Structure 1
Amino acid sequence: METAEILRILREEIHSAVFATVDEQGLPATRVIDIMLTDEDSLYFITAKGKAFYRQLTDRKYAAVSGMTQGKGSLERKAVSVRGKVENIGSGRLAQVFEANPYMAEIYPEEESRTALEVFRMYEGEGEYFDLSAKPVVRHTFSLGGAQERHPVSGDYYIDETCSGCGECLKKCPQKCIDMSAVPYVILQEHCLRCGNCQEVCPCKAVHRR
């Protein structure tokens, strides 16, 4: 799946996402912020200059974002998480933000009131897309702005050469996402839940977590 399509889902289908930053005491801080614009490999959001969020973004220049579509139930939802570097582009694209998100004019009706707002752009980072509505579930990693995508992703499970081909791992895999066509078996990362069942039952201790 292309990064631009994942960002479109984040903007259009999720829109309101949880943003995490670090405060002045080094503690985590979160709030719900709307994704205002996206392009091929960037996302844009706004905040007011008087807010703690603004100061944290300005000081740290980094944020993490997570959001999930609503759907009718958990098995119809898609989730996107991304973390990366952010930059303040001031009032650049603010008019476009209001044009693309007309409800903002109800919050900041006068041009004068909008002078408190500035636009931030996440321009480099890495993320993950997770689709529970697919069978088996689908997981994709992606990158923004040319950042090197972690591959393999930290937290993945993999099977080494000591695999005997016994098949115990597949029996306990909830998504049956283990390729048994050759030994050692291969975990299909795009469908893996990272539950660790395969590692738990492997009699050869051939399954490892990165």
Structure 2
Amino acid sequence: MAGMNYLQYIHKNIHTVVAAVADDAGLPVTCAVDIMDSDENSLFFLTARGKGFYKRLKRRGYMALTGIKGTDTLSCAAISLRGKVRELGAEKIPEMFEKNLYMKEIYPTKESRRSLTVFQLYEGNGEWFDLAQKPMERFSFAFGQAASKPEEYYYITDACTGCRRCEAVCPQKCIDISGVPAVIRQIHCLHCGSCRMICPQNAVRWGEG
């Protein structure tokens, strides 16, 4: 949804996400992470210093994550982020435990919490993908000090003759054929490539447009 605070949505509406950090071989390793706090430009989460996840975060300083909200595919919204992370240490832990009371059952004593440390995902880019909307919606965004990344997408060039074959195969009906060349409404595009495969003029291209 355009204009919403996507980071706050992850924290308050999704909470548990799947995160990925590359290992020493450059291969992604995933794990489940609870997002325990947020502000306008960052997310906060805990991990223990003895975990492999902690070691990968320290070595790489970068992670990606995806969170999904919904009961099934057609009612779900997904947010994916990738960006820089940094360790903040233990100062924020009492505040995070008060905001996430279930953590007191997992780590009940001060002694058991000594291994914990807070990380902040503070700069990067993301994408909102909502299949609950008809037609579906897709938005890209940046947070922290990151610049918006140039988006790649399908677009229609002047080679279009207005044959309308692309409109016929588009699953989201997001191609405007009121003019020539036709125009793809990007916020509703699934990036499936059906329009490119059907176009007899090779007028559909993938790139920054």
* Residue aligning to 1:67: 67
- Are 1:124 and 2:123 matched, yes or no? yes
Q: Output one character per residue of 1:51-103: Cα deviation in whole Å (capped at 9) or x when no partner.
A: 111011001100000111132x2111110100001011111321221111110
* Residue aligning to 2:83: 84
Deviation >6 Å, runs of 4+:
none
SS in 2 for 1:55: helix
Q: Provide the rounded CA distance (Å) in 2 between the counterparts of 1:163 and 1:130.
A: 28
Q: Provide the rounded CA distance (Å) in 1 between the counterparts of 2:191 and 2:177.
A: 18
* Residue aligning to 2:168: 171
- Structure 2: gaps spanning 5 or more residues: none
* Residue aligning to 2:190: 193
* Residue aligning to 1:102: 101
Code of the residue aligned with 2:138 in structure 1: it is R
**Would the aligned equivalents of 1:80 and 1:129 in 2 still touch at CA under 8 Å?**
yes
Q: Provide the rounded CA distance (Å) in 1 between the counterparts of 2:8 and 2:169.
A: 35
More strand by share: 2
- Structure 1: gaps spanning 5 or more residues: none
SS in 2 for 1:63: strand
Could you tell me the TM-score, scaled by structure 2's length? 0.94
Code of the residue aligned with 1:2 in structure 2: it is G
* Residue aligning to 1:46: 46
In the TM superposition, residue 3 of structure 1 has moved relative to its aligned partner by: 5.5
Code of the residue aligned with 1:68 in structure 2: it is I
Moved more, 46-55 or 24-33: 24-33
Could you tell me the TM-score, scaled by structure 1's length? 0.94
State the identity %: 47
Q: Provide the rounded CA distance (Å) in 1 between the counterparts of 2:48 and 2:137.
A: 37
In the TM superposition, residue 20 of structure 1 has moved relative to its aligned partner by: 0.3
SS in 1 for 2:114: helix
* Residue aligning to 1:2: 3
* Residue aligning to 2:159: 162
